[in-house]
Structure 1
Amino acid sequence: MPDRIAVLGTGLIGGSIALGLKERTDAVVVGYDRSDEDLALAATLGAVDEATTDLAEAVCDVDIIIIALPVGAIKETINRLTSLPLKAACIVTDVGSTKSEIVAHAQKLKQQDVIFIGGHPMAGSHRSGMKAAHSLLFENAYYVLTPDPDTSLLAVQKLSRLLHLATKAELVIMDPVHHDRVVGAISHLPHIIAAGLVNMVGDYNEQNEWFHRLAAGGFRSLTRIGASHPVMWRDILLSNREELINLLDDWVLQINNMRDAIHEGDGDRIEAFFARSRRLRAQLPDRKKGLLAPVYECWLDIPDVPGEIARVTAILSEQSVNISNIEVLNNREELPGVLKLTYKKEHDFKRAVACLKEAGYAVYADRT
């Protein structure tokens, strides 16, 4: 008999998992959301077999519950689950980007003979909602599970197999504290730094508008994650506050060391700082999906004559290449080319670069 799986939250993450479950397993998927509109879309797209705005109805007699909600709502949902009659040995998991606090909070579910296994699919998108969901969002990404040491091995194996089938992600078992430190360093801290830079330059711009006028491609690319959702990131940072305090202390040491080197005119230290950064960055994996959605961009030089942009778009249209965004760069600041093209998908990016080069354009390609 196929498993009944409740997906609580039919946004980007929950919707993508639900689509994968329906495409690659025989599970019966029950979708829960507070929004009738989102549920209707999930049903229309074939992501769920049943849809309800009633939590008790959604989790009644299900084998697995996936809490696909923002970090701030996961603990509240766990609290609500403790007052509902869940099926014995039901597996509950989540998709939150912090784990220690959530895993500790979920201990109360043990009183109901329920198994909680923390989870975190480590891939995302700049888009949100069920309309942006797709079944391969997590393909080739890491999907971290953080079970307690005393969690049933059979339960961990069952959930791992199911999620691997549904998402095509690579499942990894990790201690929740270790997970929070790693993710804090590679995702949470960079969001703080990016937002801090944007706010600092914004303060300067109030006195001199040239700060924003000259903040061209390099600054925008470096700080793009500074535009993240304020409420979501408030909840994430507070949920991981212990690790982030330590990480921020380490970051302050890094910045103070660089400040001292600049103040002292120590060119060797400055050069060594950037040389090490360049060497370490080259060692980062390139083909694995990560927490920050990749951006596919290329730049090209075009003559300043009427119709030239139309010619470029016509070339790409003939090849059925979908352009996400097009921008004429007045101030290029370290970026080659005058026309910037952005793509959502890697295959569109590769085809665009190839056909534009074939058409005789000088194309400068990058993937960030």
Structure 2
Amino acid sequence: MRGTVFIAGLGLIGGSLAKTIKKAHPQAEVIGYDIRKDEVGLAEALNIIDKKAESFQSGAEQADLIILAAPVLQTEELIRQLAEFDLKKEVIITDTGSTKRRIMECAEVLEKRQITFIGGHPMAGSHKSGVAAAKELLFENAFYLLTPGEHTNDKQLAVLKKWLEGTKAKIIELSAEDHDYLTGVVSHFPHVIAASLVRQAQKCNDSNSLISRLAAGGFKDLTRIASSNPEMWKDISLHNKEVLLALLNDWKIEMERVIDILQEESAPLLFDYFNEAKKFRDELPVKAIGAIPSFYDLYVDIPDYPGVISEITAYLADERISITNIRIMETREDVYGVLVISFQNEKDRARAQRCIEKQTNYDLFLA
């Protein structure tokens, strides 16, 4: 497609969208803007954008497509500003925020001016942030949720989908209310719970510092999402307050049920509780990309001798397999340790598994 695409917010998501659009639509011009001047400069230097906008207004008024890749509270302010600009008549505006109801309500000011706004939420991420971490394959096979406005027509929706085709994402249309409920259940609520588990461990650690050492293994993996940006999750939680409150009240009832079962010492009920959870969890899609970014970890049982880790990484280097993180789980009672190697995607993890199995007789397993 030809045209000008303006991306406001050059972090991981905005930068990755810029890369996918430039690759899929080489005749388009991608203009970038960010209040962080260093990110804009880096995006230019890395050829992620074609040029920078001198201001938010100048970039927006040139654009055929405007993508607001900013935190949700900032997105609301940007929408209010856009309503005052002299935009192109056929411009399409979308965002990338994790909540939609309040964003769509805010965008009504654009609808009144007959400016098309289609809410968007690419459900992908990474442990890295910033435009330097942007990559073309970030959204591949991920869900990309769109929440069209009340007056959005099929042609406008088709144009936006065409612009986004380079993401290779699975695009789903739904209402803003459904979006916030679904993402509340599988993303926002788990983040609150993960943070609460970490805070509970922190309180217990005050009386026994051994807890922080024992938590270095499975507990740390279980609560990894608690390391997400607190500023972003503060805004998301406030935006989706009603859904979160309902889910947290349900959680209280669920925990009261567990308390009752334990107090009764009912082994059958306790077994059923864990077994039902296990069955549902085991039936979840293995390869699908969901609301929370997947962690492509490979666990390797390794013997304790000098140089064993460098041997493993050398095997991977010989096959030109990139790793994103490497660590040792300390909670082991036998002579072996567990080496946890993280990869960017499922393909790299599968290649690594085959490589290590070929070179060693170590036991390997996935989370």
TM over 0.5: yes
Deviation at 1:219, TM superposition (A): 0.4
Equivalent residue, structure 1, for 2:349 = 349
Distance in 2 between the 1:321 and 1:45 partners? 23
- Kindly indicate whether residue 10 of structure 2 is the aligned counterpart of residue 10 of structure 1: yes
Percent same amino acid among aligned pairs?
39
Shift in alpha-carbon separation, 1:333–1:147, aligned structure 2, 3 A: farther
Distance in 2 between the 1:64 and 1:298 partners? 40
Equivalent residue, structure 2, for 1:94 = 95
CA contact (8 A) 2:9 2:70 kept: yes
Shift in alpha-carbon separation, 1:323–1:16, aligned structure 2, 3 A: closer
Counterpart amino acid of residue 198 in structure 1:
V
Distance in 1 between the 2:32 and 2:154 partners? 27
Counterpart amino acid of residue 331 in structure 2:
N
Distance in 2 between the 1:328 and 1:84 partners? 54
Distance in 2 between the 1:53 and 1:276 partners? 56
Higher alpha-carbon deviation: 4-13 or 340-349: 340-349
Equivalent residue, structure 2, for 1:32 = 33
Deviation at 1:30, TM superposition (A): 1.3
Counterpart amino acid of residue 242 in structure 1:
E
Shift in alpha-carbon separation, 1:170–1:330, aligned structure 2, 3 A: closer
Summarize the alignment of residues 237-276 of structure 1 with structure 2, pairs less than 5 Å apart: 237-276=237-276
* Unmatched tracts of structure 2, length 5 or more: none
Deviation at 1:221, TM superposition (A): 0.7
CA contact (8 A) 1:184 1:240 kept: yes
Structure 1 residues 191-243: Cα deviation after superposition (integer angstroms, max 9, x where no partner) = 00000000011011111112212213110011001111111100000000011
Summarize the alignment of residues 50-199 of structure 1 with structure 2, pairs less than 5 Å apart: 50-163=51-164, 165-199=165-199
Distance in 1 between the 2:333 and 2:179 partners? 37
Shift in alpha-carbon separation, 1:271–1:46, aligned structure 2, 3 A: same
Distance in 1 between the 2:337 and 2:330 partners? 10
Where in structure 1 do 4 or more consecutive aligned residues deviate above 3 Å? none
CA contact (8 A) 2:204 2:211 kept: yes
Deviation at 1:332, TM superposition (A): 3.1
Shift in alpha-carbon separation, 1:301–1:145, aligned structure 2, 3 A: closer
Counterpart amino acid of residue 51 in structure 2:
E
CA contact (8 A) 1:89 1:113 kept: no
Distance in 1 between the 2:111 and 2:326 partners? 53
Structure 1 residues 45-99: Cα deviation after superposition (integer angstroms, max 9, x where no partner) = 2222221240111011321111011112100111111221111232111000000
Distance in 2 between the 1:49 and 1:148 partners? 30
CA contact (8 A) 1:298 1:363 kept: no
Deviation at 1:359, TM superposition (A): 2.1
Deviation at 1:297, TM superposition (A): 2.1
Counterpart amino acid of residue 5 in structure 1:
V
TM-score, normalisation: structure 2: 0.94
Distance in 2 between the 1:184 and 1:67 partners? 21
TM-score, normalisation: structure 1: 0.94
Structure 1 residues 276-312: Cα deviation after superposition (integer angstroms, max 9, x where no partner) = 1111112212222223222222233333333333322
Deviation at 1:337, TM superposition (A): 4.3
Once superposed, what is the RMSD of the aligned Cα atoms?
A: 1.8
Distance in 1 between the 2:227 and 2:69 partners? 22
